[in-house]
Structure 1
Amino acid sequence: MVNLDAKLPLAGCSVAYRDSGPPGPAVLFLHGAGADHVSFEEQARAVVGSGRRAVVWDMRGHGLSRPNTSPITADQFVADAEAVISGLGLGRPVLVGHSLGGNMAQEMVRRRPQAYSGLVVIDATWNAGPLGWMERRLLRLAAPALALIPARTLPGLMARASAVTDAAQKDLARAFSRVPKHDFLAIWRATVSFVSPAPRYRTPVPLCLIRGAQDRTGNIAKAMPAWAEHEEIGEVVIPDAGHVPSQDAPDAVTTVLLRFLDS
């Protein structure tokens, strides 16, 4: 596990991070809901090895970035990420976001496209994509459905739904178990709120889309190919990986990431 050796004080929470430091262009990793920085451990190490600057962190309410006394909202997550970028002087980083982190990264680019050099989205739905009535209904019902699951069984259930390898499932269960259920539900509601259809919107920075072939969460398996077609780019599908390919198939994801950064 990467040691997060520093903290940045923010309103209601001090977020834990590790910054490999200059030189080189910066890459900021944004993990998924309920997960933590370990999701990107292999990729961050490879980014540093390529001569770039890598920053991993635990977002508010996750991992080592606890306790948190402020409301957990989509705007707060974005503000926290922008504070990390400003506080560490990252310039115009490439954003690499998984799931919640991918939704966050999309929103950050949408708000301030000039502030970022590129966007890598891993197994997150398309924020600006069209939604059918059934997809809208499922989004509304997701948090109430999760609320019905007993707190003691939720981490294991979410881990098994997210990963296909034993090692990834074990680590995700560890991460999920550190997030109290009431916080996880707030995190989930924040994730869903990033979805805001805008049919004419196109991503204004270089974009890379990565998806695990066995991801069955939400509408990602449908939305990401449609997004790739809309942007007129190729989608990279990682075999033998679920919702968290950075842990199910770390070498494959690392190869794709470095190739994108080099381009």
Structure 2
Amino acid sequence: MVNMSSTLSLQGCALHYADSGGDGVPLLFSHGAGADHVMFDAQSERLRARGYRVVTWDMRGHGRSRPAGVPFTAERAIADLCALVEHLALDRPVLVGQSLGGNLGQAVVRRHPDLARALVVIGSAWNTGPLSWTERLLLRTAAPGLSMIPAGRLPGVMAGASAVTEGARADARRAFSLLSKREFLQVWRATVELLDPDPGYRTPVPLCLIRGERDRTGNIASAMRGWAAAEGVQEVVIPGAGHIANQDDPHAVNAAIETFLGTIPDSGPDSGRARR
């Protein structure tokens, strides 16, 4: 676990973050709903060692960024991420996000196309993708369904649905247990708020799509195939991994991210130093 002693105070919340510093290309990692920065420990260690400037953070209400101060909403999450980029003076970071973090990265790039140099999405829904009537119905009923699960069982249920390996499940249970049921439902509703169908939209920066072969969360598996086809990119499917692919098989996800970064001009591990 990295040192998360640095904070940025916003709207009643001390957002905790870790910044490896240095002149390397900045990578900003945003975790999934109910998770925290720990989910990216394997990626942080590997990419820091490769010379990148790695920033991880706990979104408000998650991990060490508690109490949340104000209710978690999509707009507040977008504002928090943008404020962190400005606070750290990150030069067009690569935004890397899992689940909610990937939805958040999509929203930020759509709203501020010059903020990031690339986007890596791990196990996230396609924000602007088309939604069938059935998919819209499932989204409307998901929160009421989750609210029926007893609070004491919710972390275990969510962990079991998110990960395949016991290590990943254990960490998910730990992280989910930090949020109350009410807080988690707020975060879930905010995630749904980030879905805004616009099938003609195309991501204005290089895009990497990664999902676990055994990810059964919502429509991610089917939608990501369509998303990749629409954007003209090849999705990376991690064999045997679930929704939290970066924890189920960190080595495969690390390799996919490194390969992608190598295709982006000025995004190699030494590019930051080369420009100075």
Q: Which runs of 4+ in 1 moved over 6 A?
A: none
- Give structure 1 stretches of 5+ with no counterpart: none
The separation in 1 between residues aligned to 2:150 and 2:3, in whole angstroms, is 31
Task: Give TM-score scaled by structure 2 length.
Answer: 0.94
The separation in 2 between residues aligned to 1:3 and 1:93, in whole angstroms, is 21
Q: Which residue does the alignment assign to 1:234?
A: 234
Q: Which residue does the alignment assign to 2:57?
A: 57
Q: Which residue does the alignment assign to 2:250?
A: 250
Q: Which residue does the alignment assign to 1:198?
A: 198
Query: Within 5 Å, which residues of 2 pair with 1:93-172?
Result: 93-172=93-172
Task: Give TM-score scaled by structure 1 length.
Answer: 0.99
Size of the aligned set, in residue pairs, is 263
Q: Which residue does the alignment assign to 1:185?
A: 185
* Counterpart AA for 2:89: G
* Counterpart AA for 2:207: L
The separation in 2 between residues aligned to 1:32 and 1:118, in whole angstroms, is 19
* Counterpart AA for 1:123: G
Q: Which residue does the alignment assign to 1:222?
A: 222
Q: CA deviation at 1:5?
A: 2.0
The separation in 2 between residues aligned to 1:69 and 1:78, in whole angstroms, is 16
* Counterpart AA for 1:168: A
Q: Does 1:209 align with 2:209?
A: yes
* Counterpart AA for 1:185: L
The separation in 2 between residues aligned to 1:165 and 1:189, in whole angstroms, is 27
Q: Which residue does the alignment assign to 1:78?
A: 78
The separation in 1 between residues aligned to 2:39 and 2:171, in whole angstroms, is 9
Deviation string 1:33-86 (CA, Å, 9 cap, x unpaired) is 000001111111111111110000110000000011212100000000011100
Query: Within 5 Å, which residues of 2 pair with 1:5-24?
Result: 5-24=5-24
The separation in 1 between residues aligned to 2:206 and 2:69, in whole angstroms, is 36
Q: CA deviation at 1:12?
A: 1.6
Tell me the SS of whatever aligns to 1:114. Answer: coil
Q: Which residue does the alignment assign to 2:3?
A: 3
- Give structure 2 stretches of 5+ with no counterpart: 264-276
* Counterpart AA for 1:251: H
Q: Does 1:89 align with 2:117?
A: no
Q: CA deviation at 1:87?
A: 0.4
The separation in 1 between residues aligned to 2:181 and 2:59, in whole angstroms, is 16
The separation in 2 between residues aligned to 1:218 and 1:244, in whole angstroms, is 14
